[in-house]
Amino acid sequence: MYVRRTGITLVALAAIFAAVFRFEPQARLWNARFLPFWYLCLYLLAAVAVAELAAAIGTLAAKDPERPWRGPGLAAPIFAAVAALIFTGIPLRNQAAANHSLGLWSLIPLPSSKDVSFIPSWVSWNYSGYEGKTAYPEYRSVVQTMAKLPCGRAHWEYESNLDRYGTPMALMLLPYWTNGCIDSMEGLYFESSATTPYHFLNAAELSKAPSNPERDLPYKSLDVASGVKHLQLMGVRYYMAFSPDALAQAHANPDLRLVAVSKPWEIFEVAQSNVVAPLRAQPAVIKNAPKGGAAWMDIGVHWYQQDPSTWNVPIAADGPSDWQRITVRQDKASEQKQGTAKVVGSGIDIQQPLSVPVRETKVSRIKTTDDRISFDVDRPGSPVLVKASYFPNWQTSGAKGPWRVAPNLMVVVPTARHVSLHYGYTGADRLGYALTLLGIVALIAIIRLGAMRMPPASDRGEQLTLFDDQLDFWADGDRGGNGEALVPQARPG
């Protein structure tokens, strides 16, 4: 019996992806990432079913089953395309042939639907470009205004109506339009960064109608004063606002200075928001601090939402042995719920650290690039806060560290007057590159070795395998171990 392995393989893959989607723990890997492969397997199985049906018809219609008729196999793709057009495309009115009142279409009883595919309008909206939008002059004006300002990070007020620019995410392109001078906080921190939740907590405080997309966070309503404190901690130089309520609070804030206007936008510079800043107190290290993930985010969000007066002592995941140690424990009594889920940062009790003064250094000549941060200090040995997302790849020269501090920043202790942090390689990176190189070498070797000769069929019509006694690849004269000639037989129909 001849078995087609394609269908079996696709069924197995579909079952695997369905099981992973259903049972994969909610962690760094979002289970919805597996859904496209599930659907792909279903579509491919449908295609296999059509092909098998066409092959069966060809075999039944042939005079000799060993020589099936090829007509059904050739007609199957055309039939499938026409069927898809009739039963899907025309009812959704997203095909040119949807006007079936003309020509031969009028003779075909077609199903009807009130649904209309969004794809044509979606494509038209997206591919008409920013220049094709009615609000393009407004968008162009604010981009040009930002391009004239000194470089720095920018946080812009969100609302869904920013879609008038082409997408609510249009201002994420500020780095592109300004040649990397103005960084957009929205977009800079998205799925791949552990700093993402803190950006959206800021956005809730600095927008009249925020999106609040990350679930289970303790979002607040518009509070520019609190939001500005967070912008200072995150090293954000500009706040861009347009709503009357946000503007009223911004104009009343002493830490904001109006530097540009491009209606409806007003751009404010945030005081004391340098990317690198000296510390006045020694950080406190959490005993047995979590390496990351949800446990660290709980600690970070709890600390981030505290009164800013407590921020003078950063809490770190690690650090020198002479830094004080504190404990963090679970406090079920203070745990809050959103539905059935725990609010991030609730149910956490962080021991209040002592304020151990340090001699404050002066930071100057701060320079940042895509993968490097450098600066000078006048007093080596005093800790410095670097307001960039911590990641194990960061490496230093001229300093000890970096060590992760809440919410997801870094602290270093300079050992020289010039300090440089660069984004380097970890052991995981090197292993990945080594495996990639090994894969390339293996691919080249396979190509050079040529195609592998597959086991032929036996005289009984069965497929031989490498483990069958009848098959001997090393015998002289291409003969089997029992002397039979290894001549491929015709495949069963």
Global pTM value? 0.78
Note the pLDDT tens digit of each residue in 288-305. Answer: 999 888 999 999 999 999
pLDDT of residue 31: 86
pLDDT of residue 85: 76
Whether residue 306 is predicted with pLDDT greater than 70 in this model: the reply is yes
Whether residue 263 is predicted with pLDDT greater than 80 in this model: the reply is yes
Contact 239, 155 (CB under 8 A): yes
Which backbone phi and psi does 209 adopt, to 5 degrees? -135, 70
- Which residue spans within 234-327 are E strands per DSSP? 238-241, 256-262, 265-270, 276-278, 284-286, 315-316, 325-326
Whether residue 153 is predicted with pLDDT greater than 50 in this model: the reply is yes
For residues 304 and 297, give the distance between their C-alpha atoms in angstroms, rounded to a whole number: 10
Contact 455, 439 (CB under 8 A): no
pLDDT of residue 479: 47
Highest mean pLDDT among 80-84, 97-101, 155-159: 155-159
For residues 394 and 37, give the distance between their C-alpha atoms in angstroms, rounded to a whole number: 35
Note the pLDDT tens digit of each residue in 164-188. Answer: 999 999 999 999 999 999 999 998 7
List CB contacts of 1: < 8 A, sequence separation 6 or more. Answer: 492
- As a whole number, the mean pLDDT across the chain is 87
Note the pLDDT tens digit of each residue in 307-340. Answer: 999 999 999 999 999 999 999 999 888 899 988 8
* Phi-psi group of 220: left, alpha or beta (phi > 0 → left; psi -120 to 50 → alpha; rest → beta): beta
- From the list 225, 205, 197, 195, the residue with the least C-alpha distance to 405 is 195
- From the list 184, 182, 183, 230, the residue with the least C-alpha distance to 204 is 230
Whether residue 471 is predicted with pLDDT greater than 50 in this model: the reply is no
pLDDT of residue 456: 63
For residues 205 and 144, give the distance between their C-alpha atoms in angstroms, rounded to a whole number: 26
For residues 199 and 176, give the distance between their C-alpha atoms in angstroms, rounded to a whole number: 20
Whether residue 365 is predicted with pLDDT greater than 90 in this model: the reply is yes
- Give me the residue label for tokens 């679930």: 215
- From the list 456, 446, 460, 462, the residue with the least C-alpha distance to 480 is 456
